[in-house]
Structure 1
């Protein structure tokens, strides 16, 4: 029976952490979902959570949910800011959306220490430097 269920593979979608500097010259980062697909993504639901251990103590963040009606092809949407103090734990973004009549979803994870200035690359669509997971 399980072999009858077709689970579509999500491709051409990315999540990126992009640094920015505020007026006080404090380092801040923002999380974006990027649609690299030829078509739009509708009913986009993103769930975010951080979890792991810091100095031997378990740590987790509140689960946040974000909804966007549509994300056009080759476009990006800012989801939330992320504090640099959370870079030492896993940061998970579960992205669900409709592709026509099919519900698609994929989990994107930034591993502890992955978000850093040393890992910056050019982020597709945004043209900014950031850390990308696909």
Structure 2
């Protein structure tokens, strides 16, 4: 029964979009990161992303990480600036203590910009954060 399914609340796991200089191509790239600001390792992470608005939708992208250690972060994907005009959704699923967790993080359209920068936990940089 649906009422018997327990879905634990996700705390201490965030998504961030930061702008970083790419030494190889000499460009300022935008990258999405998954951040584990908890004291425990996350296992079997799956990040599913898409961009959308009322008229358009991007392809669905899937990324897998076997493990994201406690107090660490990992790059989920590179983002083109063209998709910032869309809502950018990241659905994150992972296991912690043999329980499955799931959370949807949404960067609303036009919210990814330098005016929205704030300090990003663990990364020692600024960017756009969704908790």
Fold-level similarity (TM above 0.5): yes
Q: TM-score, normalised by structure 1?
A: 0.91
Q: Does 1:34 align with 2:35?
A: yes
1:60 alignment partner, SS class:
coil
- Identify the match of residue 80 of structure 2 among 63, 79, 83: 83
> What CA distance in whole angstroms lies between the structure 2 residues aligned with 1:27 and 1:115?
14
2:53 is matched with which residue?
52
Equivalences, count:
130
CA displacement at 1:60 relative to structure 2? 1.2
> What CA distance in whole angstroms lies between the structure 2 residues aligned with 1:21 and 1:44?
26
User: Which structure 2 residue ranges, 5 or more long, are not aligned?
Assistant: none
1:60-75 to structure 2, matched below 5 A, reads 60-75=57-72
User: Which structure 1 residue ranges, 5 or more long, are not aligned?
Assistant: none
Q: TM-score, normalised by structure 2?
A: 0.93
> What CA distance in whole angstroms lies between the structure 1 residues aligned with 2:57 and 2:124?
31
CA displacement at 1:22 relative to structure 2? 3.3
